[in-house]
Chain A
Amino acid sequence: MLDFPRWKIWSICLALAIGVLISIPTFIPESVAQRWGIGGLPRVNLGLDLSGGSHLMLEADTTDLAKQNLIRMEELVRTEMRRADPPIAIGDISTTGGRLSFFVRDGARVDAAVERLRTLTQPSGMTGQRDWNVQVVDSTRVVLTPTEAGLAQATDAAMQVATEVVRKRIDEMGTREPTIIRQGAERIVVQVPGLQDPAALKALLGKTAKLEFKLVDLTANPQDVAQGRAPVGSEIIPYPDNPSGVPFIAVKRRAMLTGDELINAQLSYNQQTNEPVVSITFNSEGGRKFARVTQENVNKPFAMVLDGKVLSAPNINEPILGGQAQISGRFTTDSANQLAIALRSGKLPVALKVVEERTVGPDLGADSIRAGTLASAIAAVAVVIFMFVSYGRFGFYADLAVVINVFVILGVMALLNATLTLPGIAGFVLTIGTAVDANVLINERVREEIRRGRSPTQAVEHGYKEASRTIFEANVTHAIAGIIMFILGSGQVKGFAVVLLIGIATSVFTAVVFTRMLVSQWLRRTRPASLHI
C-alpha cells in the first residue's frame, strides 16, 4: 500500500510534469510564442467574455424554408409535366397550407402525372419514408405534401449551404479568427473575438441576397398597381426608391436571370454620376441569357430585385453583350460593398434571424481576467496557508498537490482545446477549495487512526485506504452534477462544467495518488515514531 516501486514514482512524476509542461504555452502571450516558434502548441482558448468580442446565434426561418421548398417543388413539377410526351396540361397550382396542389386538365392522364411525380420524390432518412407524399384528391387534383423527414432533410441541406455562405461572407469582410459552428438542426453560432462591430456583421448576415432581374410589366394599370392588383403573369413588389413616387411596381413573375448565374461582384463607381454601384459578371450561360433578353427588350425597363424589393428599374438602352452589368440603387460605398460581398458569396438558401447576441467589450474582458486571476491567487494562498497551519507537513503535501493540480487542469484544457470562460475561472477557484477536501478527508482519518493508537505507518495506510472509498463516492456524485451541466448547459455554464469535470479527475490523482507517494517516501526515509498531524 505504501510501497512505491521506482517505476511507479517515475511514472507519477512524469505524468504530472507533462501536465504542467503542457500548461506553459498558455501563459506565454501568443505573439511571443510565435516568435519562439512554439505558436502551434496547444493552449487554452479564452472565451469571448474574457477576450471581448461578439457572439451571434442565427436561426433559420423555418416557415421561409418550407415556402422555399414548395416553390422549388413547383418549378420541378412544371418542368416534369412539360417534359412528358405529350406534355401534361396542369392548372390552378396552389402552394397554400404548406402543400402543393394542382389540377390535371386531362382526367385520363392523372395516373401518368402521378407516375412522373414519383420520380421527383426521394427516399429520406433511414425509415424508408419519402420526402414528399403524393396523393390524388377528387380524381383530378394532385396534392404533394412534404413529409417531416423530407422537411428535416431540406432544412439540413439548406443549413449546410447557409453555414458555408455565412463563412464566406464573414471571411470576405476580413473578420479576424471567426468561429462559425452549426448548432442543432436550424442554428448557426458565429463568434468573433475582439472589438469588431457586430452591427455590420449582422446587416450582412441578415441579407438573403437573392438577386433577380425581371422585366417591368408596362401593361399594368397604375391604379391597379397602387391597389396591389397585378395583371396575369405579373406581380406587385415594393420599390422604395421609385422616382414616380409610388413605392410599388408591377414586374413579370418569371425572372430573366438570377444571382445564381454570377461569377463575380465588385464595388465600383458609375462613370457618369460617380455614384457607388455594384459591377457584376455573369457566367457564360448567364451572359448569353442576358444578351438575348436585352436584345429582345431594348428600350424597355427592367427591374433589379434584391430579396423581393426593387433596387432600381433602368431602361435597357442597348443590348448588353459582354456578360457584365452594373446594379445601381441608392447605395453608399459601404452598402454597395456589402451587397457585392453578399452576391459574391452566394445567396442564403434560407433567411436567418439573430436570436441571441452577446457582446463584451475588451476592457471588461481584461478586467475580468485580472479580477479572476487575483481571486484565484488569493484563494490559493489562503487555502495553502490554512492547510499548512492545520496539518503541518501533511498540509504542505496537499498544498503541493493543489498547486500542481492548477497547472495540470490548464494543461488538460489546452490538450482538449477547451475554452476558459469567466464562470470557468469561478470553477477554478472552487476547485482549489474542493480539491483539498480529499486531503482533509485523508488527514482527518489519519488523525483518527492515531487516536485509536495505531502506529504512524499503519495510521497513514488506514487513513488513505478508508478515505479513498469516500473520496471516490463523493467525486462520482459531484461528477454527475458536472456532466449534467456540461450536457445541458449553454456556453457559459458549459465553460464552468468543463473546468469542474477536469478538476475532479485531476484532483483525485494529485490529491490522493501524488500525496500518498510523498507521504510514503517520507515515512520510509525517516521512520518517525509519532506523527505531527
Chain B
Amino acid sequence: MRLLKLVPDNTNIGFVRLRVVAFVITALLTVAAIGAVATRGLNMGVDFVGGLMIEAKFATPPSLDAVRSNIDALGVGTSSLQQFGDPGTISIRLPVPESNDPGATNAVVNKVDASLKKQFPGVVFTRTDTVSGKVSGELIQNGVLAVVLAVLGIAVFSWLRYEWQFGVSTFVAIVHDVLMTLGFFAITQLEFDLNIVAAVLTIVGYSINDKMVIDDRIRENMRKFRQMDMKALIDLSVNETLPRTVMTSVTVFLALGALLLFGGHVLRGFAAAMLLGVVVGTYSSIYVSSSLLISLGLQPLRIAKPEAGRPEAERVGP
C-alpha cells in the first residue's frame, strides 16, 4: 500500500524571502479586523450584555417579521430576533424586566409563550437564559482576563524557555490570531458568547502549540548548524516541520469539520471560530512568528559561547 504524503519530502520553500510581503498583508488584515470590530462591533450574547434569551422551536419556519410584531405588541421591551441553526429555530432576545420581583422574568417568558402559541401552534421554548447586568459584567471581565493571561503566560513561558525573540514573536503572533478571530465575529455577526471565549482560548492554545514545534526545531537547528545564515536556518526549520504542520492541521480540520456539520446548532459558532483559528494559527506560525525572529535580530549561536544555559544533556528524551 502506498502511503499518503500531503507534503513531498525535502521541500525547500523560501518562506522567509516573502516575509516583507507577508508582513504587509498581515498588517492590513489585522487593521481590517480591528476596524471591523470598531465599526460593526461584536454581536454580544446575553452572557456579556445581560438580558433574556429565549430559544424557540417552531413547528413550521415562521417569518421573522410576524414573530417580531407578535412579541413587540406585548410591551415587554424591544425584541431582537435571529434565526438559529435550522430555519424553525429562532432566538428571541429581550431586556430583563426591571423589577425586584423574582417572578418578573418568568412572567415575561410566559407572556411571550402564550402569545406565540396562539399565533404559531406547536412552538416550544427549548432554552431560556437570563443574565443580569452585574453577572454579565463579571463574565466579560473574566473572559478578557482569561485571554490576556493566557497570551501573556504563554509568551513568558516561551521567553524563559528560549531567547526573548521567541517570546516576542509568539506574543505578536497570538495577538494577531485573537484579533483575526474577533474580526471574523465582527464581520459575520455570529453571536459572541461564553463558548466563543473558550474557542478563542483554544485557538491561543493550538496556535502556540504550532509555534512551539517550529521554535523548537529552530532552536535545535541553531545548535546543529552554528554557521548557517539565520534566514536559511529558519527556512530549513519551517520546511522540515512543514509535513507535520500540514498533517496536524488536516486532522484538527477533520475533527472540527465534523463538529461544524454534525455537532448541532449550539456549537456551530464555536466550531466556526475554531476552524478559522486553525487556519489563522497555522498561517501566523509560518509567516508571523518565524519570520519575525529575523526582524527581531535573532543571532546564530556563537561557537565560542559556552552552552551553559541549555546544555546538550537536557535533550534526553524519556
**In whole angstroms, what is the CA distance A359 to B247 when docked?**
41
A30 at the interface (CB under 8 A from B): no
B26 at the interface (CB under 8 A from A): no
B191 at the interface (CB under 8 A from A): no
In B93-152, which residues have CB < 8 Å from any A CB? 100-103, 105-106, 110, 124-132, 134-135, 139, 142-143, 145-146, 149-150
* A 370-392 binary contact with B (CB < 8 Å = 1; else 0): 11101110110011001101111
Is there contact, CB below 8 Å, between A477 and B3? no
- Chain A residues with CB under 8 Å of B206's CB are 434, 478
Is there contact, CB below 8 Å, between A372 and B264? yes
**In whole angstroms, what is the CA distance A429 to B254 when docked?**
10
Is there contact, CB below 8 Å, between A476 and B157? yes
- Chain A residues with CB under 8 Å of B143's CB are 488
- Chain B residues with CB under 8 Å of A533's CB are 3
**Which residue of chain B has its CB nearest to the CB of A57?**
B135
- Chain A residues with CB under 8 Å of B6's CB are 390
**In whole angstroms, what is the CA distance A387 to B244 when docked?**
12
In B187-219, which residues have CB < 8 Å from any A CB? 194-195, 197-198, 201-202, 204-206, 208-209, 212-213, 216-217
**Which residue of chain A has its CB nearest to the CB of B208?**
A477
**In whole angstroms, what is the CA distance A448 to B241 when docked?**
10
Is there contact, CB below 8 Å, between A484 and B198? no
CB < 8 Å neighbour of A379 from B4, B208, B258: B258
Is there contact, CB below 8 Å, between A493 and B194? yes
Q: Using C-beta atoms within 8 Å of the partner chain, give the interface range for chain A.
A: 35 or more
**In whole angstroms, what is the CA distance A476 to B160 when docked?**
13
CB < 8 Å neighbour of B216 from A199, A363, A470: A470
**Which residue of chain B has its CB nearest to the CB of A395?**
B3
CB < 8 Å neighbour of B209 from A198, A387, A434: A434
- Chain A residues with CB under 8 Å of B102's CB are 202-203, 205-206, 353-354
Is there contact, CB below 8 Å, between A371 and B127? no
A149 at the interface (CB under 8 A from B): no
A255 at the interface (CB under 8 A from B): no
**In whole angstroms, what is the CA distance A370 to B157 when docked?**
39
**Which residue of chain B has its CB nearest to the CB of A468?**
B317
A378 to chain B, nearest CB (A): 4
- Chain B residues with CB under 8 Å of A473's CB are 161, 212, 216
CB < 8 Å neighbour of A484 from B149, B240, B259: B149
Interface of B is mostly: helix
B250 at the interface (CB under 8 A from A): yes
**In whole angstroms, what is the CA distance A116 to B79 when docked?**
60
A384 to chain B, nearest CB (A): 10
CB < 8 Å neighbour of A206 from B103, B241, B259, B262: B103
Is there contact, CB below 8 Å, between A391 and B3? yes
- Chain B residues with CB under 8 Å of A497's CB are 198
**Which residue of chain B has its CB nearest to the CB of A475?**
B209
Is there contact, CB below 8 Å, between B213 and A429? no
Is there contact, CB below 8 Å, between B130 and A371? no
- Chain A residues with CB under 8 Å of B161's CB are 473
B270 at the interface (CB under 8 A from A): yes
Is there contact, CB below 8 Å, between B142 and A488? yes
- Chain A residues with CB under 8 Å of B317's CB are 1, 464-469
B79 to chain A, nearest CB (A): 18
In A180-229, which residues have CB < 8 Å from any B CB? 198-199, 202-203, 205-206
Is there contact, CB below 8 Å, between B103 and A490? no
**Which residue of chain A has its CB nearest to the CB of B125?**
A361
**Which residue of chain A has its CB nearest to the CB of B242?**
A444
Is there contact, CB below 8 Å, between B131 and A484? no
- Chain A residues with CB under 8 Å of B4's CB are 386, 389-390
Is there contact, CB below 8 Å, between B135 and A355? yes
CB < 8 Å neighbour of B124 from A354, A363, A437, A469: A363
Is there contact, CB below 8 Å, between B150 and A481? yes
**Which residue of chain A has its CB nearest to the CB of B195?**
A423
CB < 8 Å neighbour of B55 from A364, A425, A482, A496: A364
B: number of interface residues (CB 8 Å): 84
**In whole angstroms, what is the CA distance A430 to B270 when docked?**
11
B49 at the interface (CB under 8 A from A): no
Is there contact, CB below 8 Å, between B195 and A433? no
- Chain A residues with CB under 8 Å of B129's CB are 357-359
B11 at the interface (CB under 8 A from A): no
**In whole angstroms, what is the CA distance A386 to B257 when docked?**
14
In A334-386, which residues have CB < 8 Å from any B CB? 353-361, 363-364, 367-368, 370-372, 374-376, 378-379, 382-383, 386
Is there contact, CB below 8 Å, between B205 and A468? no
B74 at the interface (CB under 8 A from A): no
B252 at the interface (CB under 8 A from A): yes
Counting chain B CB atoms within 10 Å of each CB, the highest count among A360, A391, A433, A464 belongs to: A433
Contact flag A488-B103 (CB < 8 Å), given A433-B252, A493-B195: no
B292 at the interface (CB under 8 A from A): no
In A459-505, which residues have CB < 8 Å from any B CB? 464-470, 473-478, 480-482, 484-485, 488-490, 492-493, 496-497, 500
CB < 8 Å neighbour of B213 from A57, A474, A490, A500: A474
- Chain A residues with CB under 8 Å of B305's CB are none
**In whole angstroms, what is the CA distance A356 to B263 when docked?**
26
B218 to chain A, nearest CB (A): 11
Contact flag A357-B130 (CB < 8 Å), given A379-B259, A488-B146: yes
Is there contact, CB below 8 Å, between B128 and A358? yes
Contact flag A482-B205 (CB < 8 Å), given A205-B102, A375-B263, A488-B146: yes
Is there contact, CB below 8 Å, between A359 and B127? yes
A426 at the interface (CB under 8 A from B): yes
Is there contact, CB below 8 Å, between A485 and B3? no
**In whole angstroms, what is the CA distance A450 to B276 when docked?**
35
CB < 8 Å neighbour of B258 from A355, A367, A378, A488: A378
A327 at the interface (CB under 8 A from B): no
Is there contact, CB below 8 Å, between B198 and A436? no
A432 at the interface (CB under 8 A from B): yes
A447 at the interface (CB under 8 A from B): yes
19 residue pairs bridging A and B, Cβ less than 8 Å apart: A354-B105, A364-B127, A375-B261, A376-B258, A382-B255, A383-B254, A383-B255, A386-B251, A390-B6, A392-B3, A432-B255, A441-B244, A468-B318, A477-B158, A477-B205, A482-B205, A485-B146, A488-B143, A490-B194
Question: Which residues from chain A sit less than 8 Å from chain B, CB to CB?
Answer: 1, 49, 57, 59, 198-199, 202-203, 205-206, 353-361, 363-364, 367-368, 370-372, 374-376, 378-379, 382-383, 386-387, 389-392, 422-423, 425-426, 429-430, 432-434, 436-437, 440-441, 444, 447-448, 451, 464-470, 473-478, 480-482, 484-485, 488-490, 492-493, 496-497, 500, 512-513, 532-533
Closest 9 CB pairs of A and B: A206-B102, A371-B264, A433-B255, A465-B317, A481-B205, A433-B252, A375-B263, A379-B258, A364-B126
